Amino acid sequence: MQNKIFALQELSKNLWWSWDTEAKQIFEELSPLLWERNNHNPIDLLHQISDNELLARSNSKFGEKIDRAYARFQAYLTEKNTWAANNTPELVKNPVAYFSAEFGIHESMRIYSGGLGVLAGDHLKSASDLGINFIGITLFYREGYFRQHLNHDGWQIEDYPLQHPENLPLEKVTNPDGGDLIISVNIAQSDVFAQVWKLKVGRATLYLLDSNTMANESHYRDICCRVYGGDQNMRINQEILLGIGGVKLLSQLGIKPTVYHMNEGHSAFLTLELLAKELASGVSEKEAIENVRSQCVFTTHTPVPAGHDRFSRDMMHYTFDKYLANSGMSFDNMMLLGSEDKKNIHGLFTMTVLALNLSRSANGVSKLHGEVSRTMWQHLFPTNTVNEVPIGHITNGVHTSTWACGYTESFWRNFTENIDDMTLTQEATEAVLAQITDEDLWSLRYNLKRHLFDFIDKYLANQLFHQHQHLSLYQNDYFSIQSVNNTLSADVLTIGFARRFATYKRAPLIFRDLERLNRIINHPSRPLQIVFAGKAHPHDDAGKDYIRQIVDHARRPQFAGKVIFLENYNLGVAKRMVSGVDVWLNTPVRPMEASGTSGEKNVLHGGLNFSVLDGWWPEAYNGENGFSIGNGESFENHEEQDSFDAEQMYAALETQIIPAFYDRNENNIPVQWIKKIRNAIATIAPEYNTHRMVRDYATRYYVKH
Ligand SMILES: *Cc1c(COP(=O)(O)O)cnc(C)c1O
């Protein structure tokens, strides 16, 4: 019996449980209330349940579940017959070191802000599943990214609850003598120290550097306070700790990566530390650069010039002079590596340029983004035509078993052994779909919508209570807002829109013509409802104003109860939303969405995408597997673009989406709709997942050619 407690504890310490449905259900079953209350954190949960209770309860069928999950976990960890063993054996021997400023692995580890982090988390999980020897490097942010509340005016309020390592599956990394392993990096005139935490994610390991130790002055402790918090100075300090600190950590652990993968330019300073090591070994600067290039690959994620990190020459001087004194490199030569214009090293230092200069290969994250990136960086390669600029693309995907909710997972398991079977080939997926009736798929949709609406009902009650608890009970709007509860209907076509509220994503676009939207939403027989969620960056007042606008609209009498805004978008809320809604709306200004991944999460739940032809969508959309907004038309003028796209959106809703959803056969089945769902599953699931994506990285970029 005692060993069942041990098994539970072992399961809680490796985030493998987060993509194993049964393991997750074990924790939830222990106490559904505590599970919800502590953000689905099993370590926290186990702290609150006594051994007596655990012992007594595992003496039953429940104990068998624990045994089964634990056995599966052990088998997973020790499996030798993996994809990597059979296809890229050199990636089993030495690890890939993957550096990212954020990792979105599970909502209980708040060390991510948005899509970049979620992608890194899904990459880590797929690398583990495929058997690649894989190490992630990041920072441990004590306050993480903020928790979002809305005040009664619909204005975003940020709060930063502390994350305590003892409530997380983190283990302190120690030296052989048992003392804490400490690394140090040079920043400006100081030595900054970091302790290190280790997080197990399946077979992969994530190391988190943490400057929050008493050895540091307080402003250096704050480097590991918030994800993308602070000013430029904070940013450069975070990037030094991540890049240079990360390489130092690997050396100290005696780990020799076969390749360093920079996920976005934030970690590109790692190349400076690799250069310093090469130079210390006595090679020439030219050779040192070649040697470093041969070890690094780089993924760029930002199609907008302003989105790339740039530091002033003064800041570089201030921050790096002491470091350079011991590195064998001159300041000007360093500036040359990060200058957009090789003839002018007195301008800004650009992290993307450093990464491009010191990588053996580079890629964007969708076909379109690859093209945009080649154009954007052509000036760095003056002798190349745009097509010859050495930036390729690997389109982003999602980790299928992470994004399948329990209900969806068990649905597919009625027809195939493992939900990953749906990600292999279009033929295999079509073979599974052939066994499934339209009625099966339609009941899946109803079930998932019911799950989402039950969740929203509880969630919203809580949200509104906090939003209005300081208002007088006698104020009218308190009552009108309370009555919003429980009005979403599972019969009604439901659109979801959830993402970071960066303004280019244009969250309020659908409200451009309120009269027309009113007619659509309140159609007597074919109505529509919309669920929104999303955070604006704390410094982005324009993004916060978008949230306020939507909350305002949601309170108009004609939209109340039909337009909903859920606060605190995170991985958990995302999973609920992508599984429940019928249509996933995406309205970026093309081509500003490098890839986007949230729309890829809804596919196995029977959701359909409705998106501007941007990011991954122009590759995936075939006319029958979802809906497009426009045809990729671009206008110089913002107003014109918004009007055009809004018009296209309303027209597609009125003439394609709403009829396809509400036209029913004699058994009340929307035949056209289900046909699109089948097409989406067959064409999207096998391609837009991180197993395919990581296999592409492994064979094209990680293996040396
Ligand atoms: C998937 C996801 C994202 C990325 O979505 P986009 O399509 O890039 O907007 C961001 N945040 C969360 C919480 C997610 O789950």
Average pLDDT for 205-229: 96
Cα–Cα distances (Å) from 172 to 44, 77, 140, 474, in that order, read: 18, 21, 12, 52
| pLDDT at site 486 | 56
What are the extents of the domains in the chain? Answer: 2-78, 83-396+694-702, 400-688
H or E element in which residue 678 lies: helix 671-684
Give the tens place of pLDDT for each residue, 48-76: 999 999 999 998 899 999 999 999 999 99
Task: Assign 493 a pLDDT band (cuts: 50, 70, 90).
Answer: very high
How far apart CA 105 and CA 96 sit, in angstroms, is: 18
Task: Assign 492 a pLDDT band (cuts: 50, 70, 90).
Answer: very high
| pLDDT at site 479 | 44
| pLDDT at site 471 | 57
Average pLDDT for 131-159: 96
Whether the predicted pLDDT of 259 surpasses 50: yes
Task: Assign 282 a pLDDT band (cuts: 50, 70, 90).
Answer: very high
Residue 596 Cβ contacting ligand 1 at under 6 Å: yes
**Which of 102, 103, 395, 500 gets mutated to test ligand 1 (max ligand atoms within 8 A of its CB)?**
500
| pLDDT at site 474 | 46
Residue 579 Cβ contacting ligand 1 at under 6 Å: no
Task: Assign 344 a pLDDT band (cuts: 50, 70, 90).
Answer: confident
Q: Scanning the structure block, which residue is given the tokens 């970071």?
A: 500
Q: Percentage of the chain surpassing pLDDT 70?
A: 97
Cα–Cα distances (Å) from 354 to 31, 338, 359, in that order, read: 50, 4, 9
Residue nearest to atom 3 of ligand 1 (CA): 115
| pLDDT at site 594 | 97
- 372 and 303 in contact (C-beta within 8 Å)? yes
Whether the predicted pLDDT of 484 surpasses 90: no
Ligand 1 atom closest to 597 (CA)? 7
Give the tens place of pLDDT for each residue, 616-635: 999 999 999 999 999 999 99
Residue 498 Cβ contacting ligand 1 at under 6 Å: no
- CATH homologous superfamily for the domain 400-688: Glycogen Phosphorylase B; (3.40.50.2000)
Residue 148 Cβ contacting ligand 1 at under 6 Å: no
Whether the predicted pLDDT of 478 surpasses 50: no
How far apart CA 570 and CA 34 sit, in angstroms, is: 18
How far apart CA 155 and CA 388 sit, in angstroms, is: 47
| pLDDT at site 470 | 57
Cα–Cα distances (Å) from 274 to 96, 256, 278, 310, 485, in that order, read: 15, 12, 6, 21, 57
- 172 and 179 in contact (C-beta within 8 Å)? no
- Mean pLDDT (the chain) is 95
CATH of 83-396+694-702, one of 3.10.350.10, 3.10.560.10, 3.40.1190.20, 3.40.50.2000: 3.40.50.2000
| pLDDT at site 469 | 65
Within this chain, domains 83-396+694-702 and 400-688 share the same CATH topology: yes
Ligand 1 atom closest to 600 (CA)? 7
Long-range contacts of 280-289 (CB under 8 A, 24+ apart): 280/328, 285/329, 285/333, 289/337, 289/357, 289/358
| pLDDT at site 214 | 94
Ligand 1 atom closest to 113 (CA)? 11
Task: Assign 306 a pLDDT band (cuts: 50, 70, 90).
Answer: confident
Give the tens place of pLDDT for each residue, 632-680: 999 999 999 999 999 999 999 999 999 999 999 999 999 999 999 999 9
How far apart CA 145 and CA 226 sit, in angstroms, is: 6
